[in-house]
Amino acid sequence: MAMIVKFKTHKTPIMIIEPAERLKSVEEYYFSKKLKQIRNMEASGTEVINLGIGSPDMAPENKPVERLLKESLKNNNHAYQSYTGIDELRIAFSDFYRNHFDVVLDKNEFLPLMGSKEGIMHISMAFLNPGDGVLIPNPGYPAYESVSKLLDAQIMHYNLTESNGWYPDFDVLEKTDLTNIKLMWVNYPNMPTGAKATKALFQKLVDFGLKHQILIVNDNPYSFILNDERLSILGANQAKRVAIELNSLSKSHNMAGWRIGVLAGSEKYVKTVLQVKSNMDSGMFKPIQLAAACALNAGSSWYKAINDTYARRREIVFKILDLMGFEYNKQQVGMFVWAKVPDAFYNAEIFTDLLLNQTAIFITPGSVFGSMGERFIRMSLCTNEKLLTKAGDRIEKFVKSMKNK
């Protein structure tokens, strides 16, 4: 007779090492959580139309792709690279800024990044001590706040309002105690609101930074999308004394997954950020850098082609918003449309959850970007016209059903 041995089991936690205290200050990224819900819906057989994420669905120009393939076959291109990036790429960024922004910068005033999002962390680590104050826009890109929290910086929000064109209210800022503020995040052309940059705005920001000794950081990845006037904060008078800029090939060149960004500014600021970056990675793959340099030399026909596509998509989105009775500004730029929800809904998140559950269409509630976005939604243009039209058909049926209730 076989002997049966029973083992006593104990419930033990999967994690026996506690996470760092700093993680208690940040939550999982909203889109990470929402994408899980979407994947579960799709696994059950539901076709979800995702109009929430700003990931370009079009391919890059052929030339950089061909350059990547060609350079990847060379044996000597697979070694570690310089932390500062290869000369070819930094020179290409210098030419790019001169040709498109009318800003003259030396190659040593550029620091290539593995995506501009890492630049947010690098800049913050390079300039902020625990307790230093940071001005963060509301609404604004959530990473500005989460990175500041991780570094124990003191966050001070400044409100962007529709009535002020989604620009900082300098009168309000001047009445604020700024003695502890060391850094200010700005983002023009603006995400999520689509507000355009202006020379006057950039000069006001630089003057504000000079007056209060605050580093102004402009996050500038949307200049080339549905925008005829391309500007850099570094074009403002005395900008290099107090301003730096992040830029990226993710949106302008359909290369989001390639992770190619850049920090631009005075060589002194670049070297300061390099002290952080050089301790966190070992340089970007050389063929990607060479391909990026190729992409930066794209002609005007490239930008016209992608903008013609975005313009057609935006017209469909405008019609969808009209169906739902939303208010929006037709002059906004970038790859999103920012719109105000009707008064019938308490806030945008209630509406977007209802829309996802009833129509399997995901759009982003403005509350993701701060309290000033609670009455707004953001719709992405990174979806083809066929799917946008299908979304319009679903929403038209949804609106009719709501009216019949």
Last residue within a domain, chosen from 282, 297, 312: 297
161 is a domain residue: yes
The reported pTM is: 0.93
Last residue within a domain, chosen from 263, 282, 297: 297
Q: Which pLDDT does position 257 carry in this prediction? A: 95
141 is a domain residue: yes
Residue 43 — very low, low, confident or very high, per pLDDT cuts 50/70/90?
Answer: very high
Question: What token pair was written down for 398?
Answer: 């949804």
16 is a domain residue: no
Kindly give, in sequence order, each residue whose CB lies less than 8 Å from that of residue 333, ignoring residues fewer than 6 positions away.
Answer: 189, 194, 196, 222, 225, 226, 227
The distance from CA 39 to its chain's CA centroid, rounded to whole angstroms, is 23
Q: Which pLDDT does position 18 carry in this prediction? A: 86
Q: Which pLDDT does position 11 carry in this prediction? A: 59
307 and 293, same structural domain?
Answer: no
Strands 376-380 and 336-340: antiparallel
14 is a domain residue: no
Domain range enclosing 345: 28-51+301-403
189 and 286, same structural domain?
Answer: yes
Tens of pLDDT, residues 175-209: 999 999 999 999 999 999 999 999 999 999 999 99
Lowest mean pLDDT among 321-325, 340-344, 356-360, 390-394: 340-344
Q: How many domains does the chain have?
A: 2
22 is a domain residue: no
351 and 285, same structural domain?
Answer: no
271 and 122, same structural domain?
Answer: yes
Last residue within a domain, chosen from 277, 297, 317: 297
Whole-number average pLDDT of the chain: 93
366 is a domain residue: yes
Q: What string of DSSP letters covers 34-96?
A: HHHHHHHHHHTT---EE-S-----SPPPHHHHHHHHHHHT-GGGSS---TT--HHHHHHHHHH
305 and 282, same structural domain?
Answer: no
237 and 383, same structural domain?
Answer: no
> What CATH number does residue 36 fall under?
3.90.1150.10
| HSE toward the beta carbon, residue 252, CA cutoff 13 A | 25
The Cα–Cα gap between 350 and 94 comes to 46
What one-letter code names the amino acid at 387?
Answer: L
306 and 266, same structural domain?
Answer: no
What stretches of 249-384 show up as alpha helix (H) in DSSP? Answer: 267-277, 286-295, 300-324, 348-359
129 is a domain residue: yes
100 is a domain residue: yes
204 and 92, same structural domain?
Answer: yes
315 and 277, same structural domain?
Answer: no
Residue with tokens 């009719």: 400
Distances in Å between the Cα of 171 and the Cα atoms of 85, 158, 204, 237 are 41, 11, 11, 21
333 and 293, same structural domain?
Answer: no
Query: Is the pLDDT score of 8 beyond 60?
Result: no
Residue with tokens 């940071």: 134
> What CATH number does residue 208 fall under?
3.40.640.10
